[in-house]
Amino acid sequence: MKQFFSFIQKEFYHIFRDPRSLLLLLLMPVALMVIFGFAVTNEIKNNKLAIMDLSRDEASRKLINRFSASPYFDLSVLVPESASLETIFHKNKAAMVMVIPAHFNEDLMASHATTLQLLADGSDPNTANSLINYASAIIGDYQQEEFPETASAFQIVPITRMLYNPELKSAFFFVPGVMGLILMLISAMMTSVSIVREKELGTMEVLLVSPLKPFMIVLAKAVPYLLIALVNVLTIIALSVWVLGLPIRGNFALLLGESTLFILSCLSLGLLISTAAQSQQIAMLISLLGLMLPTMMLSGFIFPIENMPMPLQVISNIVPAKWYIRTIKAIMLKGLGLGAVWKENAILLGMTLFFLAVSIKRFKIRLQ
Amino acid sequence: MNNKVIQTENLTKTFGDFTAVNTISFDVYEGEIFGFLGANGAGKTTAMRMLSGLSTPSSGKASVAGFDVYRQTESIKKNIGYMSQKFSLYEDLTIRENIELFGGIYGLRGRLLQEKKMALLKNLELEDDQMKLVSSIPLGWKQKLAFSIAILHEPRVVFLDEPTGGVDPITRRKFWDLIYAAAAKGITVFVTTHYMDEAEYCNRVSIMVDGKIEALDSPDRLKITHAAGSMDEVFQQLARRAVRKAD
Amino acid sequence: MHILLVLLKKEFTQILRNRFLLLIMFQMPVIQLLILPLAATYEMKNISMSVVDKDHSSYSAKLIDKFTASGYFKLNSYADSYEKALESIEDNTSDLIIEIPENFERTLIREKKADILINANAIDGTKAGLSSSYAASIIADFNKDIRETLLQPGKLNPAPRISITYSNWFNPTLHYPTYMVPGILVTLLSLVGGFMAALNIVSEKEKGTIEQINVTPVKKTTFIVSKIIPFWIIGMIIFTLGLLISRFVYHIYPVGTYGTLYIFAMAYMIAFLGLGLLISTYSDNQQQAMFIAFFFLIIFILLSGEFTPITSMPDWAQKMTKLNPLSYFVEVMRLVMLKGSSFRDVLTQFLTICGFGVVLNTWAVLNYKKTS
The confidence score (pLDDT) of residue C159 equals: 55
pLDDT band at C329 (very low <50, low <70, confident <90, very high): very high
C215 to B105: CB separation less than 8 angstroms, yes or no:
no
A131 and A201 both lie in a single domain: no
Q: How far is C357 from chain A (nearest CA, A)?
A: 23
Domain end position, chosen among A150, A184, A215 = A150
Domain harbouring B150, CATH code: 3.40.50.300
Q: How far is C229 from chain A (nearest CA, A)?
A: 19
Residue C216 neighbours by CB under 8 Å, 6+ apart: B77, B102, B105, B106
DSSP secondary structure string for all residues of A238-268: HHHHHTS-----S-HHHHHHHHHHHHHHHHH
* pLDDT at C8 > cutoff 90: yes
CA C216-C220-C226 angle, 5° bins: 95
A93 and A220 both lie in a single domain: no
Within a domain: residue B231? Answer: yes
* Domain coverage including residue B200: 30-56+81-239
Within a domain: residue A10? Answer: no
Per-residue confidence in pLDDT tens, chain A, 368 aa: 777 788 888 888 888 888 888 888 888 888 888 887 787 777 777 888 999 988 888 888 888 988 888 888 888 778 888 778 888 888 888 889 999 988 888 888 876 778 888 988 888 887 888 888 888 888 888 887 777 655 456 677 778 788 888 877 778 888 888 889 989 988 898 888 888 888 877 777 777 777 777 777 777 888 888 999 999 999 999 998 988 888 899 999 999 999 999 999 999 999 999 888 888 888 888 888 888 888 988 998 888 888 888 888 999 999 999 999 999 998 998 888 888 889 999 999 999 999 999 988 887 766 55
Q: Are strands B204-209 and B188-193 parallel, antiparallel or unpaired?
A: unpaired
| Residue among A160, A169, A356 at smallest CA distance from A272 | A356
CATH 3.40.1710.10 residue ranges for chain C: 47-150
Sign of the Cα pseudo-torsion (A216, A222, A226, A227, in order): positive
Per-residue pLDDT tens for A293-349?
A: 889 889 988 888 888 888 889 999 999 999 999 999 989 988 888 888 899 999 999
E strand map for chain B:
4-15, 18-29, 33-38, 59-64, 67-68, 80-83, 157-161, 188-193, 204-209, 212-217
A168 to C39: CB separation less than 8 angstroms, yes or no:
no
Which residue in C146, C167, C339 is closest to A154 by CB distance? C146
Q: CA-CA distance, A199 to A186, in Å (whole number)?
A: 20
| Residue among A237, A261, A211, A254 at smallest CA distance from A33 | A237
Q: Provide, as residue numbers in chain C, all residues whose Cβ is less than 8 Å from the Cβ of A304.
A: 42, 124, 127
Per-residue pLDDT tens for C153-197?
A: 554 555 556 777 778 777 777 777 888 899 889 998 998 887 788
Q: How far is C20 from chain B (nearest CA, A)?
A: 14
Using alpha carbons, list the distances in angstroms from residue A150 to A140, A145, C109, C161, C164: 10, 9, 20, 9, 17
Q: In what order do the strands lie in the sheet with C96-100?
A: A155-163, C113-121, C96-100, C47-53, C73-78
Is B56 an 8 Å CB contact of chain C? yes
Q: Are strands A73-78 and A47-53 parallel, antiparallel or unpaired?
A: parallel
Residue C75 neighbours by CB under 8 Å, 6+ apart: C48, C49, C51, C64, C67, C68
| Residue C285 identity (one-letter amino acid) | N
Q: What are phi and psi of B86, to 5 degrees?
A: -90, 10
Indicate the burial class of C304 (C-beta count within 10 angstroms; 0-12, 13-18, 19 or more): buried
Which residue in C89, C108, C172 is closest to A154 by CB distance? C108
In total, the C-beta contacts within 8 angstroms joining chain B to chain C are 76
Residues C112-123, mean pLDDT to the nearest whole number: 87
Fold of domain C47-150 = abc type-2 transporter like fold (3.40.1710)
Per-residue pLDDT tens for B58-106?
A: 999 999 999 999 999 889 999 999 998 776 789 889 999 999 999 999 9
Within a domain: residue A159? Answer: no
A285 and A302 both lie in a single domain: yes
| Residue among B109, B187, B111, B112 at smallest CA distance from B148 | B187
CA dihedral B123, B129, B130, B131 (to 10 degrees): 180
* pLDDT at C39 > cutoff 90: no
Within a domain: residue A164? Answer: no
Phi-psi region of A168 (alpha: psi -120 to 50; beta: other; left: phi over 0): left
B89 to C209: CB separation less than 8 angstroms, yes or no:
yes
The confidence score (pLDDT) of residue B29 equals: 92
Within a domain: residue A20? Answer: no
Which residue in C35, C122, C303 is closest to A162 by CB distance? C122
Q: CA-CA distance, C275 to C196, in Å (whole number)?
A: 11
| Interface probe with C: pick from B105, B143, B151, most Cβ of C within 10 Å | B105
First to last CA, chain A: 25
Q: CA-CA distance, C252 to C182, in Å (whole number)?
A: 10
Residue A326 neighbours by CB under 8 Å, 6+ apart: A300, A341, A344, C92
DSSP secondary structure string for all residues of C326-371: HHHHHHHHHIIIII---TTTTHHHHHHHHHHHHHHHHHHHHH--S-
- How far, rounded to the nearest angstrom, does the alpha carbon of residue A178 sit from its chain's CA centroid? 6
Domain end position, chosen among A95, A118, A150 = A150
The confidence score (pLDDT) of residue B2 equals: 65
CA C135-C137-C143 angle, 5° bins: 105
Q: CA-CA distance, B82 to B160, in Å (whole number)?
A: 6
The confidence score (pLDDT) of residue C180 equals: 86
| Interface probe with A: pick from C308, C313, C315, most Cβ of A within 10 Å | C308
Q: How far is A30 from chain C (nearest CA, A)?
A: 11
CA dihedral C149, C150, C154, C158 (to 10 degrees): -90
| Residue among C30, C38, C24, C26 at smallest CA distance from C243 | C30
Within a domain: residue B71? Answer: no
Q: CA-CA distance, C313 to A38, in Å (whole number)?
A: 8
Longest CA span, chain C: 97
* pLDDT at B130 > cutoff 70: yes
Residue A22 neighbours by CB under 8 Å, 6+ apart: A15, A16, A228
pLDDT band at B247 (very low <50, low <70, confident <90, very high): very low
Is C372 an 8 Å CB contact of chain B? yes
Structural domain count, chain A: 2
Q: Would you tell me the crossing angle of helices A171-201 and A252-276 to the nearest 10 degrees? A: 40
Residue C224 neighbours by CB under 8 Å, 6+ apart: C277, C361, C364, C365, C368
DSSP secondary structure string for all residues of C215-253: TSS--HHHHHHHHHHHHHHHHHHHHHHHHHHHHHTS---
Within a domain: residue B193? Answer: yes
Within a domain: residue A2? Answer: no
Is A308 an 8 Å CB contact of chain C? yes
Q: CA-CA distance, C311 to C315, in Å (whole number)?
A: 9
| Residue among B33, B23, B11, B38 at smallest CA distance from B206 | B38
* Domain coverage including residue A224: 25-40+170-367
Is A340 an 8 Å CB contact of chain C? yes
| Interface probe with A: pick from C163, C302, C310, C316, most Cβ of A within 10 Å | C302
Chains with at least 3 CB pairs less than 8 angstroms from chain B: C
E strand map for chain C:
47-53, 73-78, 96-100, 113-121, 161-169
Within a domain: residue A163? Answer: no
A21 to C291: CB separation less than 8 angstroms, yes or no:
yes
Q: What are phi and psi of B18, to 5 degrees?
A: -95, 125
Contact yes or no for A283/A277 (Cβ under 8 A): yes
Q: CA-CA distance, B93 to C70, in Å (whole number)?
A: 66
Q: CA-CA distance, C364 to C272, in Å (whole number)?
A: 12
Which ipTM value was assigned to this complex?
Answer: 0.85
Within a domain: residue B247? Answer: no
- The better pLDDT of the pair B41, C77 is held by C77
Which residue in C38, C92, C142 is closest to A312 by CB distance? C38
Structural domain count, chain B: 1
Q: Provide, as residue numbers in chain C, all residues whose Cβ is less than 8 Å from the Cβ of A326.
A: 92
Report long-range pairs for C287-290 (Cβ below 8 Å, ≥24 apart). Answer: C287/A18, C287/A21, C287/A193, C287/A194, C287/A197, C287/A280, C288/A18, C288/A20, C288/A21, C288/C202, C289/C198, C289/C199, C289/C202, C290/A189, C290/A193, C290/A280, C290/A284, C290/A288, C290/C195, C290/C198, C290/C199
Q: DSSP secondary-structure letter at A79? A: P
User: What is the three-class DSSP state of C178?
Assistant: helix
Which residue in B73, B91, B92 is closest to C371 by CB distance? B73
Alpha helices in chain A (DSSP H): 2-16, 19-34, 58-69, 85-90, 104-110, 125-146, 171-201, 203-208, 214-242, 252-276, 280-284, 292-298, 310-315, 320-328, 342-367
DSSP secondary structure string for all residues of A168-221: --THHHHHHHHHHHHHHHHHHHHHHHHHHHHHHHTHHHHHHTSSS-HHHHHHHH
Q: How far is C301 from chain B (nearest CA, A)?
A: 34
CA A162-C72-A176 angle, 5° bins: 45
Q: Would you tell me the crossing angle of helices C176-207 and C286-302 to the nearest 10 degrees? A: 160
The confidence score (pLDDT) of residue C105 equals: 87
Q: What are phi and psi of C272, to 5 degrees?
A: -70, -35
| Residue among B238, B232, B184 at smallest CA distance from B209 | B238
A216 and A359 both lie in a single domain: yes
Using alpha carbons, list the distances in angstroms from residue C285 to B34, C206, C339, C363: 34, 6, 44, 19
A295 and A180 both lie in a single domain: yes
Which residue in B56, B88, B101 is closest to C371 by CB distance? B56
| Residue C88 identity (one-letter amino acid) | S
Is C6 an 8 Å CB contact of chain B? yes
Q: CA-CA distance, A208 to A217, in Å (whole number)?
A: 8
pLDDT above 90 covers a percentage of chain B that reads: 49
Q: How far is A163 from chain C (nearest CA, A)?
A: 5
C122 to A163: CB separation less than 8 angstroms, yes or no:
yes
Is B53 an 8 Å CB contact of chain C? yes
Is A76 an 8 Å CB contact of chain C? no
A204 and A122 both lie in a single domain: no
A337 and A357 both lie in a single domain: yes
Q: Provide, as residue numbers in chain A, all residues whose Cβ is less than 8 Å from the Cβ of C311.
A: 44-48, 74, 95
Q: Which C positions 267-296 lie with beta carbon below 8 A of chain A?
A: 284-288, 290-292, 294-295
